Structure 1
Amino acid sequence: MDAKELFSTNLIDGTVTSHIKRQCNSPHTVIVIGAGISGIAAARSLHEASFKVIVLESRDRIGGRIYTDYSFGCPVDMGASWLHGVCNENPLAPLIRGLGLTLYHTGGDNSVIYDHDLESCMLFNIDGHQVPQHIMIEVGDTYKRILAEIVKVRNEHPDDMPILQAISIVLNKHPELRLQGLAHEVLQWYICRMEAWFASDADIIPLKTWDQEHVLTGGHGLMVKGYDPVVKALANDLDIRLNHRVTKISNGYNMVMVTVEDGRNFVADAVIVTVPIGILKANLIEFTPKLPDWKASAINDIGMGNENKIALRFDRVFWPNVEVLGIVAPTSYACGYFLNLHKATGHPILVYMAAGRFAYDLEKLSDESAANFVMQQLKKMFPDASKPVQYLVSRWGTDPNSLGCYACDLVGMPDDVYERLRAPLGNLFFGGEAVSMDDHQGYVHGAYSSGLMAAENCQRHLLQKQGHMENLPLVPSVRHEMFETTIPLQISRI
């Protein structure tokens, strides 16, 4: 749709005539699509820069893939739950400090191998026998050697390949690294944990980029009270319209029109799109004019991972005081693990986590069947386990608002795919974890930073049109007195 067509269209939320008057006499209007932390960060930044901002959100709640459930009588994050990089360099640190939120430290910097400290992990085989700690350590050492060897495979093979294929090459070349019996099953558990980190299977994870993430220092901090307080603080006083599912974006020369599911239209000077990459890949939003090939191919060339949680609340604690309880098996698909929230929060809750194809397979079950399956796994470790009082099941892969949990690299992916994805198109700007800078895809702080980046680019673009660049702050910021504090991050280690 060109500018003439836009001007001839009747607009419900502000007519074109009123929009023209507002252009001359009032602040710019920006529509942000998506009320996840990226969209809210963008909206907050523009709002505090005196722009008129409307956030359109398809869900009946804010937060997006951040979802803190309170039905257990305590906060349980069924989506994002960690601050990855507990350090002052993390852009979320000032907000978390200012809100006085406590983090529970679960592990060091080496996330791809395991993101929980080994001494606080207890493994069992499918017969319910505990894996001796020395075997866990020995297999962990072998695993590190295998990972070091696959880097050599990468250097020797110009073409990308799945990391599982690279492991097979290593084991054929170094038969001394092959493991049998219980040791082999523990190795599969380590691979299962890698798959959980990337939210995809080892036959999809690319050899080219698996170890190229820019992981912030400080290890990993579980949000003890959930991410909900952060989202609500950022969203305070913003104009957020829930149950507004965007179906079409019409980009004109001087304005953009956004159509929602019930046919209503909204008009603005610019739009920031922060919907999950899964939504863009499924073409659930129509763009007029169509996205150029370089943008469309970027969307197609990025993967969307999946990871689900099944949270179980019990009336008593019957498990040991470790952070992770794992089940080893002959294949990574059959392995599993529980996060012990009781150790971190004091509440009798275990959270089973599944990634990749296994996560999608769990979504084929009813909530009750999924909870029963998880209990079968738990009873292998603890035959006298009591029944859960309540359970929660996430379904990110089939959730029509996300269609997955976060972006993941694909084998053979072009080097510039993320740059193309985040690149603006006229009055359209793109945010969300998938477009974050410095390889921070999949992180909450990456999503947050991408929202600030999109807001800054949008602000610069609009002010350049009017020749008012002197009004543009040099660094995007979210200024709120509750966040301006030098209190250190609160870390616990119960």
Structure 2
Amino acid sequence: MESGGKSNRQLRTAVCFSTGQRMKSRSPSVIVIGGGFAGITAARTLQDASFQVVVLESRDRIGGRVHTDYSFGFPVDLGASWLHGVCKENPLAPLIGRLGLPLYRTSGDDSVLYDHDLESYALFDMDGNQVPQELVTKVGKTFECILEEINKVREEQTEDMSISRAFAIVFERRPDLRLEGLGHDVLQWYLCRMEGWFAADSETISAKCWDQEVLLPGGHGLMVRGYRPVINTLARGLDIRLGHRVVKVVRGHHGVKVTTEKGDTFVADAAVIAVPLGVLKAGIIKFEPRLPDWKQEAINDLGVGIENKIVLHFDKVFWPNVEFLGVVAETSYGCSYFLNLHKATAHPVLVYMPAGQLAKDIEKMPDEAAADFAFTQLKKILPDVSPPVQYLVSRWGTDVNSLGSYSYDIVGKPHDLYERLRVPVDNVFFAGEATSMSYPGSVHGAFSTGVMAAEDCRMRVLERYGELDLFHPVLGEDASSVSVPLLISRL
């Protein structure tokens, strides 16, 4: 997307040029690399602060891991789809409220890791028998007890361990928490949901750091109309160059020079790096001089999980009127769950959401085979179902523009790696969900770091220009002063 107008033409003259040309303007300029939520937020904030900004995005669309698809004739989010924490404390709430976008509450104030509201879930065994609700409740409480015991274990241990190992230690200490038969399978489903929260397997999730993020109150709201209206609003009027994959960032005392895969060269006073952590890990972007060791270690040591969506569109509804349908099994790998979009949107759609190793294995399949796999899981619990009329399959793990879904804490690595990844290096600034210590893996985390990176960049550049105004507002003068109620329901 690229908007016209005098200001953008001036920007292209000032910021985008081939090697050998000279800057024709001393106006502060910034190159934002990555047109996802963090990058667009940073660009919006800087442009509102009178900076000249160009956004370089490798895809043919904006949004990154926020991707609302309309091929069914209605919006379906293939990436992020929830506002985690429907409350005024959520940094995204004012914007979503002003846009009047409705939310559908899929769980209450408890973490989704162990929310067992009986109106929310219908669990089935492999033979299609529904699990008694009393057992679901009982196992949910057991799962909470196990997590409390894990807290005790990690306080006693000097070294970190995986969630899987912590579970084993708890069972050794508290054999009364062991479950057999169907109860064991339901417990594995709760573990499967936990793995989905981190998009990773329990063998890799840090027991010391798994609960370090800030869980905002208000429950979890599904974006009924998708996230695209939000990202489009933030992007309005920005100079965004699609199909521009950045391969090199050279930083110097007087500015930065950015080179794309096609050989285009851009220069500016500073750059904001807002690409996914998986892209940074892959080394697709070369930095000159190379990044400091502490920064590279943060990139290397943060985990990147994979959670995908296989969206099945049916001609009619044939499933229970609950938020989630679940299949319990002997292992978390064998469990599965489906989000029921019909309850929130009135469209006959189920979304299968595999994570971790299962998601990686399914990504090896063609789209049709992946959709068949999801449908097979559904037939285990509803044997008389008819095939879907349409389907969509996400592939965040193998997509070269993302190489993963979102970040998480891996075993043996400190939680402050998120902050280390956020810290600027000279006139290069970093944003994205993986730079948020408080809200990693979330859209509001990406949004808040986009604002922070923009403000850090603004102050650093204007300090150099001798024009620093500490009282200049960012992201519009009324972003925090206007309070609009969020439209949320649970019918």
Normalised-by-shorter TM-score class? over 0.9
Residue 25 (structure 2) pairs with residue 22 (structure 1):
yes
Distance 2:18 2:48 in 1: 25
- 1:87-98 equivalences in 2 (<5 Å): 87-98=87-98
Match of residue 232 from structure 1: 232
Measured against aligned partners, the alpha-carbon deviations of 1:135-162 in whole angstroms (never above 9, x if no partner) come to: 1011111111111111111111110000
Aligned to 2:259: 259
Asked if 1 retains the 8 angstrom alpha-carbon contact of 2:33 and 2:275, the reply is yes
**Mapping of 1:348-367 within 5 angstroms?**
348-367=348-367
Query: 1:205/1:120 Cα in 2 relative to 1: closer, same or farther (>3 Å)?
Result: same
Residue in structure 2 matched with residue 304 of structure 1 by the alignment: 304
Match of 1:373 in 2: 373
Aligned counterpart, 2:413: 413
Partner of 2:461: 462
Note the residue ranges of structure 2 that are not aligned, 5 or more in a row.
1-13
Stretch of structure 1 that moved more, 356-365 or 483-492: 483-492
In structure 2, the partner of 1:268 is 268
How much does 1:17 deviate? 7.1
The answer for the alignment partner of 2:447 in structure 1 is: 448
Contact 1:12 1:265 in 2 (8 A): no
Deviations 1:198-247 (A, max 9, x none): 11111111110112221111110000000000000000010000000000
Distance 2:223 2:63 in 1: 15
Asked if the contact 1:255–1:267 (Cα under 8 Å) also holds between the matched residues in 2, the reply is yes
Q: 1:134-213 to 2 correspondence within 5 Å?
A: 134-213=134-213
Which position in structure 2 is the counterpart of 1:477? 475
- What is the correspondence of 1:121-132 to structure 2 with a 5 Å cutoff? 121-132=121-132
* Percent sequence identity over aligned pairs: 60
Matched, 1:422 2:422: yes
Q: Tell me what 2:4 maps to.
A: none
Q: Contact 1:30/1:268 (CA < 8 Å) preserved in 2? A: yes
Query: Do residues 493 (structure 1) and 490 (structure 2) align?
Result: yes
CA distance in 1, matches of 2:246, 2:132: 53
- Cα distance 1:289–1:171, how it changes in 2: closer, same or farther (>3 A)? same
For residues 15 and 448 of structure 2, what CA distance do their matches in structure 1 show? Answer: 33
Please give the alpha-carbon distance, in whole angstroms, between the structure 2 residues aligned to 1:36 and 1:116.
33
CA distance, structure 2, for counterparts of residue 19 and residue 302 of structure 1? 39
Q: Distance in 1 between matches of 2:454 and 2:118?
A: 41
Decide whether aligned partners of structure 1 residues 464 and 16 sit closer, same or farther in structure 2, where only a CA change above 3 A counts: farther
Tell me how far 1:12 sits from its aligned partner. Answer: 9.5
Structure 1 residues 488, 422: CA separation in 2 closer, same or farther (over 3 Å shift)? Answer: same
Tell me how far 1:255 sits from its aligned partner: 1.0
Residue 118 of structure 1: aligned partner: 118
Matched, 1:216 2:216: yes
Deviation digits for residues 91-150 of structure 1 (CA, Å, limit 9, x no counterpart): 111111111100000112322523573322000001111100001011111111111111
Secondary structure of the corresponding residue to residue 294 of structure 2: helix
TM superposition shift of 1:479: 4.6
- What secondary structure does 2:266 align onto? strand
Matched position secondary structure for 2:325: strand
User: 1:491: how far off?
Assistant: 0.6
Runs of 4 or more consecutive aligned structure 1 residues displaced over 4 Å after TM superposition: 15-19
AA in 2 matched with 1:310: I
SS at match of 1:21: coil
| 1:24-43 pair list within 5 angstroms | 27-43=27-43
CA shift at 1:16, angstroms? Answer: 6.7
Q: Alignment partner of 1:218: what SS?
A: coil
Q: Specify the alignment match of 1:102 in structure 2.
A: 102
Q: State whether structure 2 residue 323 is matched by structure 1 residue 323.
A: yes
Q: 1:44 aligns to what? A: 44
Q: Answer yes or no: is the 8 Å Cα contact 2:251–2:427 preserved in 1.
A: yes
User: In the aligned structure 2, how far is the partner of 1:427 from the partner of 1:116?
Assistant: 47
Q: How do 1:234-249 and structure 2 match up within 5 A?
A: 234-249=234-249
SS at 1:308 equivalent: coil
Deviation readout 1:412-453 (Å, 9 max, x if unpaired): 11343222211111110000111024x201010000010000
Structure 1: gaps spanning 5 or more residues: 1-10
Distance 1:261 1:17, change over 3 A: closer
- Secondary structure at 2:418 match in 1: helix
Structure 1 residues 22 and 57: alpha-carbon distance in aligned structure 2, compared to 1, 3 A threshold: same
Q: Quick one: structure 1 residues 94 and 244, their matched pair in 2 at CA, closer, same or farther if it must change by over 3 Å?
A: same
SS in 1 for 2:234: helix
Q: CA deviation digits over 1:381-437, x for unaligned, max 9?
A: 111111101000000000000000011111111343222211111110000111024
In the TM superposition, what is the alpha-carbon distance from 1:19 to its structure 2 partner? 4.2
User: 1:29 offset after TM fit, Å?
Assistant: 1.0
Whether the 8 Å contact between 1:162 and 1:203 is mirrored in structure 2 is yes
Report SS of the residue matched to 2:164.
helix
How many Å separate the matches in 1 of 2:462 and 2:25? 15
Q: Distance in 2 between matches of 1:415 and 1:372?
A: 39
Partner of 2:6: none
The 1:115/1:222 distance shift into structure 2, 3 A limit, reads: farther
Q: Once superposed, what is the RMSD of the aligned Cα atoms?
A: 1.6
Q: Which amino acid aligns with 1:417?
A: L
Would you say the 8 A contact 2:97–2:486 is kept in 1?
A: yes
- 2-structure distance, mates of 1:347, 1:181: 36
1:297 to 1:486, Cα distance in 2 relative to 1, 3 A: closer
> 2: CA distance between counterparts of 1:20 and 1:328?
62
Q: Is the 8 A contact 2:189 2:335 kept in 1?
A: yes
